[in-house]
Amino acid sequence: MARFFYSLLYAFLLPVLVLRLWWRGRLNPGYRQRLRERFGILPHRPPANGLWIHAVSVGETLAAAPLVKSFQMRHPNIPVIVTTTTPTGSEQVQRLFGAGVYHMYLPYDLPWFWRNFLNALRPGLLVVMETELWPNLLACCEQRRIPVMLANARLSEKSARGYEKFAALTQPMLQRLTTVAVQNAADGQRFLDLGLPSERLEVTGSVKFDMDVPPMVPVQGAALREQWGSERPVLALASSHAGEDELLLDLYPRLQTVCPELLLLLIPRHPERFEAVTNAVRSRGLRVQRRSTGSASEQTQVYVADTMGEMLQLLAAADLVLVGGSLIAHGGHNPIEPAALGKATLIGPHHMNFAVIVDNLQNAGALALVSDQADELLVQLQSYLSDTDLRSRMGAAGQAAVDANRGAVKRLTELCGAHLKL
Q: CA-CA distance, 142 to 228, in Å (whole number)?
A: 55
Concatenating the DSSP letter of every residue in 5-43 gives: HHHHHHHHHHHHHHHHHHHHTTT-GGGGS-GGGGGT--S
Three-state DSSP class for residue 201: strand
Q: CA-CA distance, 209 to 340, in Å (whole number)?
A: 8
Using the CB atoms, write b or e for 205-229: b if 16+ within 10 Å: bbbbbbbebeeebbebbeebbeebb
Secondary structure E strands in 283-365: 288-290, 302-304, 320-323, 344-347
Angle at 365 between CA 236 and CA 388, to 5 degrees: 50
Give yes or no: 414 in active site: no
- Given 37, 60, 244, 337, the catalytic residue: 60
Q: CA-CA distance, 56 to 337, in Å (whole number)?
A: 19
Q: CA-CA distance, 366 to 355, in Å (whole number)?
A: 14
Please list the active-site residues. 60
